[in-house]
Amino acid sequence: MPEVDLVKSSVRELNAALHRLGKDTNETQWRVRNPRGQHSVAVGLEAPVTIEIDGHVGYYCAGMNKDATVIVNGNAGQGIAENMMSGKVWVKGDASQAAGATGCGGLLVIDGDASARCGISMKGIDIVVKGAVGHLSAFMAQAGNLVVLGDAGEALGDSIYEARLFVRGKVHGLGADCIEKPMKDHHKADLRRLLDAAGLGGEADVGQFRRYGSARQLYHFHIDHAGSY
């Protein structure tokens, strides 16, 4: 297993080594030590490798991820897994603002809490937060799923398009054009799949969640709703 100590090597050197890996690499397990909150650790990966980071990371860790699995044994700063395309990013602690922002695919799991704007403008990513999320989470969320086991802050799903939001805890306020929607059998099946993927097999009952989504009154203009724009 290759190990990189970011006391001795730079983030640039780490990322360059990871970017050289091909799809058929046999160096599939990497460990990164002493990240010390540095930014842009393990960004732009395009190989099916697993990167385990021992410690806290700064901004944009695992951004633009494709195919790789990135595990953060600590907390993550702003923009974890931003613009993620595929693969998996797992934060064992808390995440700061804009976790999973603009993500197009893959799975982001946060064991702790996520701050404001979690899943902002998400475009297909699946996000599971085992704690709470802050205000304006899933703002302008276009596609994908946001699952929150704890509470959700104000303005959840503001200006949402077709993403699906599942919350087990209390919702402190819905944003413009976001409403509670029925939980049908296929929604429960999708939610069960995501909970299982996040290691929550028998720990979370899908019947405890409520689903939220778009009322479809904001992005289809209607003169009766002009005051909402």
**Residue 176 maps to which CATH number?**
2.160.20.60
pLDDT at 68: 98
Model confidence, pTM: 0.95
Boundaries of domain holding 34? 3-228
pLDDT at 171: 98
Amino acid residing at 125: I
| Residues 195 and 125: beta-carbon distance below 8 Å | no
Which helix (H) or strand (E) segment holds residue 189: the answer is helix 185-197
Cα separation, 3 vs 23, in Å, equals: 20
Per-residue tens of pLDDT for the chain, all 229 residues: 899 999 999 999 999 999 999 999 999 999 999 999 999 999 999 999 999 999 999 999 999 999 999 999 999 999 999 999 999 999 999 999 999 999 999 999 999 999 999 999 999 999 999 999 999 999 999 999 999 999 999 999 999 999 999 999 999 999 999 999 999 999 999 999 999 999 998 778 999 999 999 999 886 666 676 666 5
- DSSP per-residue codes, 90-147: EESS-B-TTTTTT--SSEEEESS-B-TTTTTT-EEEEEEESS-B-TTTTTT--EEEEE
Q: Which two tokens stand for residue 224?
A: 């009766």
Cα separation, 173 vs 161, in Å, equals: 17
Name the domain count of the chain. 1
pLDDT at 201: 84
